[in-house]
Amino acid sequence: MKAFVTRRKRPLAVLSVLTVAIATAVAISVGGAQARSSADELKGAGATFPAPLIAAWQQKYEAAKGVKVSYNPIGSGGGISAISNKTVDFGASDAPMTPDQFKSCGGCVELPWALSATAVMYNLPGLPNNLHITGPIIAGIYLGQIKKWNDPKIKAVNKGVNLPSLDVTPVYRSDSSGTSFNFTTYLNTVSRQWKSQIGRGTTVNWPAGVGARGSSGVSGVVSRTQGAVGYADIAYSLKNHLKFFSVQNRAKKFARPGLAGIKAAAQADRKFNPQSNELSIVNPPGSPRFAKAYPICTYTYVILRMQSDKANLLKPFVTWALTSGQQYGPALIFQPIPKYVVIRGKATLKKVHS
Amino acid sequence: MSVAQEPAAGPAAIQRRGRFRPGDAILYVVTCAAALTGVVLLGLITHEVLTQAWPAMQKFGLGFLTTQAWGDKGNTLFGAKSFIFGTVVTSFGALLLATPISLAIALFLSELAPRWIRSVVAPLVELLAAIPSVVLGLWGILVLGPFITGTLGPAIHGTLGWVPIFSTKPTVGSNMFAAILILTIMIIPIVSSICRELFVSVPAELKDGALALGATRWEVVRGVVFPYARAGIAAALILGLGRALGEAIAVTQVIGNRVAINKSLFDPGDTLASRIAGQYQGADTALQVASLVYLAVILLVFSLIANLAAQLIVRRVAGRHQV
């Protein structure tokens, strides 16, 4: 019976298979089209680091220009993937894209659009905020060599503080993160062992501690674990009431991740990377100009496709963010970007067209 | 389609041979296409995964399996050893914990519990399977983690600290032990519900016969129920194992994501699926992407082996029954 039916209806079978295949293809392409944003809305995704500032921008920009901007803080790595896969109109990342990432993005440009600092947070009940720490100590903790809070090295820079004999648990980002990039870039500059064994990147092979997803994951583990150390953007640690260190800079001064410290650090690098527009302001020199500098600061970047259907909306928005938008930064511990960075940004923006 | 225009097909219509009946043909074609889709999809996925992993397979070869590294030497060296270790330890650990619990649940619900308890508890246990893994992971972070560091961990380490797998005190809630417990919770509903169905299907005559011969409840279970359902239990366990092998999100939330092989379950580690879920988005280099997909290839092979093993066991045990 079965064989009988098959033999007779074969042409029909082929036709039906084709119909199913075409219907599936149509369904998929329609779904893809719907996933892209509607006409007067800009969609972005990426780093959690600039998310508070972008949230402020969304509100102000929609009120001023009537253009809706949505932003999904999924992490720098996610932002780079999203713009590469054309699922968003702009991506955001704290780490400049690597040459490999530029290649897979296919016709993308990147420019710095905000400036802030990475705070090193800790959970030590009963002890005050802004304890002192140095770069080599942070590296020692993340290398697993400094294991107790009453280690002589930590005691030496915190005279008069009664540090407990508690285990130090370093916490890091397990996902691809620009904050990790900023943090490991810093560790690279303060520890030769870190540089030769671990290196810098959005993901590295952490030799000690535990990983957690996203800034929220890291600060969550830090706040639930006594003796933990973690890192996240300063706006995030402030919002979540976590204590953070004053970090010693190369002028041997202890600086907090505040606006003054970021502003001082931002004088450091004026040479843009020709492809990614990267400016590295991590651990600036020890000269008096940088006496107030906080050593773990970073620019954070926006990534655009040079050929974008939304160019007519994107360009005004990014220009606004580079200029008028900067005034909303200081309330969220984002230092307005220097003028030469704005000029460079506007020049890069000229490459974007519809 | 044209199905609606067909006259109602009664028994008489089926009797009339040779008449053109589009309904049957369409049914055949649609079901056949659905079955083929499965095969084609599996082929396409395997092909795609192999293509994407090829650069890493070429560069590292089989040495990838025995290298413990991730992004070492300036982001040029990758290896799967610690992830394979983590996957095997967490999956089999979870299976070890889940097996007795699941069998007990299934026995209670099929043999021992009064009817009204069965009708309440059975759906609730199965509902455990409906909890999205990301929610279970969150619960793991917020409740299970602190419970392990605060209560369970110190207690186990205090009494069983001489056993290597409990040799360190958990300082933080993210560790392999937490991952094992989360996976246990995930596979219990699968294994227990399948086993319950199996136990219910044991013919009543066999059980009655054993009871009539003076067997106790436990002897009936051991001598009749378990042997009768043996093949099914094995298959259920392997299904559970497959679930544990592939779980990514809940594990990545609680395991601590460290490239390390630690004796103690209270230390962090990582699994194949968890590493892929954590880092595929926004990997720095093409080689890192390829290495992540290489991990996926290994995971695919693991799952394939688990499924084949399940089929083999079922066939062997079922064959023995017929003799």
Whether the Cβ atoms of residue B258 and residue B268 lie closer than 8 Å to each other: yes
Phi, psi of A228 (to 5 degrees): -80, 150
As beta bridge partners, residue A233 has A118
Q: Read off the pLDDT of residues A169-181 as tens digits, 9 standing for 90 and up.
A: 999 999 888 899 9
* B66 Cα distance to chain centroid: 24
Q: Does B90 touch chain A (CB under 8 A)?
A: no
| ipTM > 0.85, yes or no | no
The residues spanned by each domain of chain A are 12-113+271-279+298-349, 118-265
Residues of A in contact with B78 (CB under 8 A): none
Q: Read off the pLDDT of residues A269-297 as tens digits, 9 standing for 90 and up.
A: 778 888 888 888 999 998 888 999 999 99
* A107 Cα distance to chain centroid: 21
User: Residue B147, SS3?
Assistant: helix
As beta bridge partners, residue B72 has B77
**What does the DSSP 8-state code read for residue B3?**
G
Cβ partners under 8 Å of residue B7, min gap 6: B13
Is residue A8 packed enough to be buried (19+ CB in 10 Å), middle (13-18) or exposed (0-12)? middle
User: Per the CB < 8 Å rule, is B257 touching A210?
Assistant: yes
| Cα–Cα distance measured from residue A136 to residue A118, given in angstroms and rounded to the nearest whole number | 17
Residue indicated by tokens 């360009």:
A315
User: Per the CB < 8 Å rule, is A211 touching B278?
Assistant: yes
Q: Which amino acid appears at position B265 of this protein?
A: L
Domains A12-113+271-279+298-349 and A118-265 share a fold: yes
Q: Does A23 touch chain B (CB under 8 A)?
A: no
Calculate the alpha carbon distances from A131 to A163, A228, B177 in Å.
10, 14, 33
Residues of B in contact with A93 (CB under 8 A): 282
| Cα–Cα distance measured from residue A232 to residue A298, given in angstroms and rounded to the nearest whole number | 12
Q: What is the mean pLDDT of residues A302-316?
A: 91
Give the pLDDT score at A321. Answer: 95
User: Residue A209, SS3?
Assistant: coil
| Cα–Cα distance measured from residue A292 to residue A252, given in angstroms and rounded to the nearest whole number | 10
Residues 61-80 of A with CB under 8 A from B: 74-80
The tokens for B278 are 């954590």
* Residue to substitute from A15, A83, A84, A203, interface B, most B β-carbons within 10 A: A203
Residues of A in contact with B52 (CB under 8 A): none
CATH number listed for the domain at residues A12-113+271-279+298-349: 3.40.190.10
Q: DSSP labels for A43-85?
A: EEEE-STTHHHHHHHHHHHHHHH--EEEEE---HHHHHHHHHT
What share of chain B in percent tops pLDDT 70? 92
Q: Output the average pLDDT for chain A.
A: 87
Residues of A in contact with B69 (CB under 8 A): 205
Give the pLDDT score at B17. Answer: 59
Residues of A in contact with B286 (CB under 8 A): 100, 103-104
Q: Read off the pLDDT of residues B202-256 as tens digits, 9 standing for 90 and up.
A: 999 999 999 999 999 899 999 999 998 988 899 899 989 999 999 999 999 999 9
Domain A118-265: give its CATH architecture. 3-Layer(aba) Sandwich (3.40)
Residues 163-182 of A with CB under 8 A from B: 167, 169, 171, 174-176
Whether the Cβ atoms of residue B251 and residue B268 lie closer than 8 Å to each other: no
Whether the Cβ atoms of residue B32 and residue B52 lie closer than 8 Å to each other: no
Give the pLDDT score at A271. Answer: 83
Comparing CB atoms, the residue among B28, B30, B284 nearest residue A201 is B284
User: Per the CB < 8 Å rule, is B33 touching A78?
Assistant: no
| Cα–Cα distance measured from residue A78 to residue B283, given in angstroms and rounded to the nearest whole number | 9
Phi, psi of A297 (to 5 degrees): -110, 160
* Separation of first and last alpha carbons in chain B: 49
| Cα–Cα distance measured from residue B10 to residue B16, given in angstroms and rounded to the nearest whole number | 10
Q: Assign A251 a pLDDT band (cuts: 50, 70, 90).
A: very high
| pTM greater than 0.90 | no
Whether the Cβ atoms of residue A176 and residue B279 lie closer than 8 Å to each other: yes
